[in-house]
Amino acid sequence: MKKVILEKATDMFLNLGFKSVTMDDIAQHLGISKKTIYAHFSNKTALVKASTDHLFLEISQGIDHICALRKNPIEELYEIKRFALQHLKNEKSSPQYQLQKYYPRIYANIKKRQFEMMQECVVDNIKRGIAKGIYRKNINIEFISRIYFSGVNSIKDQELFPMSHFPMSQLMEDFLEYHLRGITTPEGRNVLNKIINTKQL
Protein backbone atom coordinates (compact mmCIF):
# COMPACT_ATOMS: atom_id res chain seq x y z
CA MET A 1 0.00 0.00 0.00
CA LYS A 2 2.89 2.38 0.74
CA LYS A 3 4.15 2.06 -2.85
CA VAL A 4 0.64 2.64 -4.24
CA ILE A 5 0.24 5.79 -2.14
CA LEU A 6 3.69 7.04 -3.15
CA GLU A 7 3.09 6.51 -6.88
CA LYS A 8 -0.36 8.15 -6.83
CA ALA A 9 0.90 11.09 -4.75
CA THR A 10 3.88 11.61 -7.10
CA ASP A 11 1.60 11.57 -10.13
CA MET A 12 -0.79 14.08 -8.55
CA PHE A 13 2.00 16.36 -7.33
CA LEU A 14 3.47 16.53 -10.84
CA ASN A 15 0.13 17.17 -12.52
CA LEU A 16 -1.39 19.55 -9.96
CA GLY A 17 1.49 20.87 -7.86
CA PHE A 18 2.96 20.06 -4.44
CA LYS A 19 1.00 22.80 -2.65
CA SER A 20 -2.27 22.26 -4.51
CA VAL A 21 -2.68 18.56 -3.69
CA THR A 22 -3.98 17.78 -0.19
CA MET A 23 -3.88 14.53 1.76
CA ASP A 24 -7.68 14.44 1.37
CA ASP A 25 -7.28 14.58 -2.42
CA ILE A 26 -4.85 11.66 -2.42
CA ALA A 27 -7.06 9.59 -0.10
CA GLN A 28 -10.13 10.31 -2.26
CA HIS A 29 -8.37 9.33 -5.49
CA LEU A 30 -7.18 6.07 -3.94
CA GLY A 31 -10.49 5.32 -2.24
CA ILE A 32 -8.83 5.03 1.19
CA SER A 33 -8.92 6.99 4.41
CA LYS A 34 -6.36 9.63 5.39
CA LYS A 35 -5.58 7.45 8.37
CA THR A 36 -4.20 4.79 5.99
CA ILE A 37 -1.87 7.37 4.42
CA TYR A 38 -0.70 8.56 7.84
CA ALA A 39 0.10 4.97 8.77
CA HIS A 40 2.88 5.11 6.14
CA PHE A 41 3.76 8.83 6.06
CA SER A 42 3.69 10.89 9.26
CA ASN A 43 2.63 14.11 7.49
CA LYS A 44 2.43 15.74 4.07
CA THR A 45 6.02 16.97 4.22
CA ALA A 46 7.23 13.39 4.72
CA LEU A 47 5.14 12.32 1.71
CA VAL A 48 6.50 15.16 -0.43
CA LYS A 49 10.07 14.21 0.50
CA ALA A 50 9.44 10.52 -0.28
CA SER A 51 7.80 11.52 -3.55
CA THR A 52 10.70 13.72 -4.69
CA ASP A 53 13.23 11.05 -3.67
CA HIS A 54 11.24 8.46 -5.62
CA LEU A 55 11.07 10.66 -8.71
CA PHE A 56 14.76 11.59 -8.50
CA LEU A 57 15.76 7.93 -8.31
CA GLU A 58 13.53 7.00 -11.27
CA ILE A 59 14.92 9.79 -13.46
CA SER A 60 18.53 9.19 -12.37
CA GLN A 61 18.31 5.49 -13.22
CA GLY A 62 16.72 6.30 -16.58
CA ILE A 63 19.43 8.82 -17.44
CA ASP A 64 22.15 6.39 -16.34
CA HIS A 65 20.65 3.80 -18.67
CA ILE A 66 20.63 6.26 -21.60
CA CYS A 67 24.25 7.29 -20.91
CA ALA A 68 25.32 3.62 -20.70
CA LEU A 69 24.19 3.17 -24.33
CA ARG A 70 27.07 5.47 -25.38
CA LYS A 71 25.12 7.06 -28.22
CA ASN A 72 26.32 10.03 -30.23
CA PRO A 73 26.58 12.78 -27.52
CA ILE A 74 24.14 15.09 -29.34
CA GLU A 75 21.58 12.31 -29.77
CA GLU A 76 22.12 11.37 -26.11
CA LEU A 77 21.09 14.85 -24.91
CA TYR A 78 17.91 14.75 -27.01
CA GLU A 79 17.10 11.29 -25.64
CA ILE A 80 17.60 12.52 -22.05
CA LYS A 81 15.36 15.54 -22.73
CA ARG A 82 12.62 13.29 -24.12
CA PHE A 83 12.88 10.92 -21.15
CA ALA A 84 12.83 13.75 -18.57
CA LEU A 85 9.80 15.40 -20.15
CA GLN A 86 7.92 12.11 -20.19
CA HIS A 87 8.57 11.55 -16.48
CA LEU A 88 7.89 15.13 -15.44
CA LYS A 89 4.49 15.19 -17.22
CA ASN A 90 5.70 18.27 -19.16
CA GLU A 91 5.61 20.06 -15.78
CA LYS A 92 2.12 21.37 -16.48
CA SER A 93 1.70 22.69 -12.95
CA SER A 94 5.28 23.93 -12.43
CA PRO A 95 5.85 21.54 -9.49
CA GLN A 96 9.44 22.76 -9.07
CA TYR A 97 8.21 26.31 -8.42
CA GLN A 98 5.77 25.10 -5.74
CA LEU A 99 8.41 22.82 -4.22
CA GLN A 100 10.89 25.70 -3.98
CA LYS A 101 8.32 28.07 -2.46
CA TYR A 102 6.57 25.78 0.02
CA TYR A 103 9.18 23.09 0.76
CA PRO A 104 12.53 24.96 0.47
CA ARG A 105 14.61 22.42 2.41
CA ILE A 106 13.41 19.51 0.28
CA TYR A 107 13.97 21.60 -2.85
CA ALA A 108 17.54 22.53 -1.82
CA ASN A 109 18.40 18.89 -1.13
CA ILE A 110 17.01 17.71 -4.49
CA LYS A 111 18.75 20.55 -6.35
CA LYS A 112 22.10 19.58 -4.81
CA ARG A 113 21.64 15.95 -5.85
CA GLN A 114 20.49 16.99 -9.32
CA PHE A 115 23.63 19.10 -9.74
CA GLU A 116 25.93 16.24 -8.74
CA MET A 117 24.16 13.83 -11.08
CA MET A 118 24.00 16.24 -14.01
CA GLN A 119 27.61 17.40 -13.61
CA GLU A 120 28.88 13.86 -14.03
CA CYS A 121 26.60 13.20 -17.00
CA VAL A 122 27.19 16.51 -18.82
CA VAL A 123 30.96 16.54 -18.27
CA ASP A 124 31.17 13.02 -19.71
CA ASN A 125 28.94 14.06 -22.62
CA ILE A 126 31.15 17.07 -23.41
CA LYS A 127 34.38 15.08 -23.22
CA ARG A 128 33.04 12.42 -25.60
CA GLY A 129 31.73 15.10 -27.95
CA ILE A 130 35.16 16.75 -28.08
CA ALA A 131 36.84 13.37 -28.68
CA LYS A 132 34.43 12.69 -31.57
CA GLY A 133 35.10 16.09 -33.10
CA ILE A 134 31.48 17.27 -32.82
CA TYR A 135 32.11 19.68 -29.90
CA ARG A 136 34.75 22.42 -30.02
CA LYS A 137 38.08 21.57 -28.41
CA ASN A 138 38.62 24.99 -26.83
CA ILE A 139 35.53 25.07 -24.59
CA ASN A 140 35.79 25.35 -20.80
CA ILE A 141 34.16 22.09 -19.73
CA GLU A 142 33.52 23.11 -16.10
CA PHE A 143 31.93 26.38 -17.18
CA ILE A 144 29.75 24.82 -19.88
CA SER A 145 28.53 22.01 -17.60
CA ARG A 146 27.57 24.49 -14.86
CA ILE A 147 25.93 27.00 -17.20
CA TYR A 148 23.95 24.12 -18.69
CA PHE A 149 22.67 23.12 -15.23
CA SER A 150 21.88 26.75 -14.45
CA GLY A 151 19.94 27.10 -17.69
CA VAL A 152 17.93 23.92 -17.18
CA ASN A 153 16.81 25.29 -13.80
CA SER A 154 16.27 28.87 -15.00
CA ILE A 155 13.80 27.92 -17.72
CA LYS A 156 11.56 26.53 -14.96
CA ASP A 157 11.33 29.98 -13.35
CA GLN A 158 7.67 31.00 -13.77
CA GLU A 159 8.45 34.70 -13.48
CA LEU A 160 11.01 34.57 -16.29
CA PHE A 161 9.13 32.06 -18.45
CA PRO A 162 5.39 32.07 -17.67
CA MET A 163 3.81 28.83 -18.87
CA SER A 164 1.07 30.73 -20.70
CA HIS A 165 3.73 31.95 -23.14
CA PHE A 166 6.42 29.28 -22.86
CA PRO A 167 5.25 25.62 -22.85
CA MET A 168 7.86 23.50 -21.04
CA SER A 169 8.35 21.08 -23.94
CA GLN A 170 9.20 23.95 -26.32
CA LEU A 171 11.38 25.68 -23.72
CA MET A 172 13.47 22.55 -23.26
CA GLU A 173 13.71 22.10 -27.04
CA ASP A 174 14.85 25.69 -27.57
CA PHE A 175 17.29 25.62 -24.65
CA LEU A 176 18.93 22.38 -25.81
CA GLU A 177 19.40 23.76 -29.33
CA TYR A 178 20.80 27.00 -27.85
CA HIS A 179 23.26 25.00 -25.72
CA LEU A 180 24.40 22.77 -28.60
CA ARG A 181 24.82 25.53 -31.17
CA GLY A 182 27.26 27.21 -28.79
CA ILE A 183 29.59 24.21 -28.45
CA THR A 184 29.35 22.23 -31.70
CA THR A 185 31.86 22.11 -34.54
CA PRO A 186 30.68 22.30 -38.19
CA GLU A 187 30.46 18.48 -38.12
CA GLY A 188 28.43 18.63 -34.91
CA ARG A 189 26.08 21.23 -36.39
CA ASN A 190 25.38 18.86 -39.27
CA VAL A 191 24.35 16.18 -36.76
CA LEU A 192 22.23 18.73 -34.84
CA ASN A 193 20.52 20.07 -37.97
CA LYS A 194 19.73 16.54 -39.10
CA ILE A 195 18.05 15.77 -35.75
CA ILE A 196 16.06 19.03 -35.82
CA ASN A 197 14.99 18.59 -39.45
CA THR A 198 13.93 14.98 -38.80
CA LYS A 199 11.79 16.11 -35.84
CA GLN A 200 10.04 18.70 -38.05
CA LEU A 201 9.05 16.24 -40.79
Alpha-carbon distances of 98 from 1, 86, 94, 103, 141, rounded to whole Å: 26, 20, 7, 8, 32
Longest alpha-carbon distance in the chain: 61
Domain ranges of the chain: 45-200
Per-residue model confidence (pLDDT) at position 169: 87
Residues 70, 88: Cα–Cα separation, whole Å: 24
Per-residue model confidence (pLDDT) at position 168: 85
Per-residue model confidence (pLDDT) at position 90: 52
Per-residue model confidence (pLDDT) at position 92: 55
Model pTM?
0.87
* Blockwise average pLDDT, block size 10, the chain, 201 residues: 95 90 96 96 97 93 92 95 79 73 94 92 96 97 96 88 88 96 98 88 51
Per-residue model confidence (pLDDT) at position 86: 84
* The residue count for the chain: 201
Question: Taking Cα atoms as reference points, which of 66, 81, 84, 64 lies closest to residue 195?
Answer: 81
Return the CATH fold of 45-200: Tetracycline Repressor; domain 2 (1.10.357)
Per-residue model confidence (pLDDT) at position 91: 53
